[in-house]
């Protein structure tokens, strides 16, 4: 799943074209994902031609304050803070501390070493499923995607990998993508994220830092996604029930989203 080559937005991707089975695929140009938009240039051709009408910001209040979004021309902003009630107990460093930790290998090892970072991410991913703020946020995102007369929508967090990655997983699963497609899409951000953080990672390693620790923090791992999927299975039994009962998204909204976002046999092709 190649990134859209925009210079002012990191990790910008269109879910369009991904296979959904039975000859169907995700309709291009309607559901996009990225990292934060604080450097977005609305006039950049790669951005302008997307015609984005809604931006869903999954970040915390602190993240938004430090790096407020710049919106595409004519787009409206919907704030959906996934971690509003969880960040303080997540065990993960705030985004503002990421640079500090990766510039001090001893500090990073103390706070994140010995498997701590993986355990913290697993807890956070489970919260994506069960947390009150997370459920409200992902419900709001799906409601936007299933709204009548909705246009192209972009959702994002800071790096565009965890909160954004789970959002993409839920959307693709609802549309009928198989597990291989969902996992491949989830992991596809690693190259872009590692490129974006390459100087920081290289400096950390040069100072004697553990490269595995840095990559566990910067990238995504299958076990992170597994934690969220297990939480869905334990609490709800299926993705369908998670969306219906856990998120409170009505079946008619889900059906409308499927009709809008899929094309080919069994999906609408004319919008």
Confidence of residue 270 (pLDDT cuts 50, 70, 90): very low
**How large is the C-alpha radius of gyration of the chain?**
18
Written as six digits, the tokens of 172 are 């693709």
What is the reported pLDDT for 269? 41
What is the reported pLDDT for 197? 86
CB distance 61 to 81 below 8 Å: yes
**Dihedral (CA of 29, 193, 70, 84) sign:** positive
Lowest mean pLDDT among 94-98, 122-126, 180-184, 259-263: 94-98
Residue 250 gets which letter from DSSP?
A: -
Q: What is the distance, to the nearest Å, from the Cα of residue 256 to the centroid of all Cα atoms in its chain?
A: 22
Residue 267 clears pLDDT 60, i.e. is over it? no
């Amino acid at each position: 799943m190649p990134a859209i080559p925009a210079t002012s937005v990191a990790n910008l991707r269109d879910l369009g074209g991904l296979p959904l089975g039975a000859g169907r695929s995700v309709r291009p140009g309607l559901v996009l994902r990225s990292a934060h938009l604080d450097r977005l240039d609305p006039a950049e051709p790669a951005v302008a031609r997307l015609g984005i009408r809604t931006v869903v910001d999954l970040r915390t209040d602190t993240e938004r304050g430090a790096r407020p979004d710049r919106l595409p021309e004519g787009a409206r902003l919907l704030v959906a803070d996934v971690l509003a009630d969880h960040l303080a107990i997540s065990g993960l460093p705030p985004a503002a501390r990421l640079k500090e930790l990766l510039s001090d290998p001893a500090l990073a090892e103390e706070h994140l070493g010995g498997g701590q970072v993986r355990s913290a991410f697993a807890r956070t991913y489970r919260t994506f499923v069960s947390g009150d703020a997370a459920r409200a946020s992902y419900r709001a995102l799906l409601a936007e995607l299933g709204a009548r007369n909705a246009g192209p929508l972009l959702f994002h967090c800071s790096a565009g990998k965890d909160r954004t990655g789970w959002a993409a997983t839920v959307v693709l699963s609802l549309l009928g993508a198989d597990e291989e497609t969902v996992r491949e899409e989830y992991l596809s951000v690693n190259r872009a994220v590692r490129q974006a953080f390459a100087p920081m990672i290289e400096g950390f390693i040069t100072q004697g830092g553990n490269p595995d620790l840095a990559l566990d923090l910067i990238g995504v791992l299958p076990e992170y996604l597994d934690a969220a999927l297990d939480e869905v299975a334990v609490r709800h039994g299926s993705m369908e029930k998670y969306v219906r009962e856990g998120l409170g998204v009505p079946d008619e909204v889900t059906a409308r989203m499927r009709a809008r976002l899929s094309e080919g046999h069994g999906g609408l092709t004319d919008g």
